[in-house]
Amino acid sequence: MNPPLPTSKIIPFTYMFQPLTLAALAPGTSTLQMAADSAFELLRMLGISSLDNPTDIAPNNFSVQLIDQSTGQQLTSGQVPQAMYCTRSYQWGNDEKYAIQFPAQSIVIGSFVNLQNAQITINFGLKGYKIFQAKL
């Protein structure tokens, strides 16, 4: 007996917001448009800044609030400091307990605030899996 056909193809994927450069203590926003070819399961949020110290395992140079524009849902009740939202990418244990699913073409808005009294560049990503529906 043949095994059943897969209902989807799943590949690891990371969506990156455009790098955002902010003046000292300034706010800024960045919009992320997800692809039309697949749904996305978010497992982890990663963020680094140009002011991060490589020896600091919990840098705290910016805060962020994410909003799923497609549904209007806030993913946090307000700005969350970098040290609470995401740790260094080499550390484990900061994954979401349940995958957050976004349909194809979802739009996520990142509202960032520079917490430092110096210019900063922020790189922020959503790591998870693209889920392609199989064509039968």
Kindly list the domain boundaries of the chain, sorted by start residue: 8-133
DSSP 8-state symbol, 89: T
pLDDT of amino acid 56: 85
Mean pLDDT of 98-105: 90
Return all residues near 118 (Cβ < 8 A) that are at least 6 apart: 24, 51
Question: Residue 46's beta-bridge partner residues?
Answer: 125
For 4-56, the pLDDT digits (tens) are 555 679 999 999 999 999 999 999 999 999 999 999 999 988 889 999 998 88
pLDDT tops 70 at residue 62? yes
Mean pLDDT of 52-69: 91
Residue pair 113/24 in contact by the 8 Å Cβ criterion: no
For domain 8-133, is the CATH number 3.90.1520?
no
pTM recorded for the entire structure: 0.85
Which of 129, 119, 127 lies closest to 23 in space, CA to CA? 119
pLDDT of amino acid 72: 87
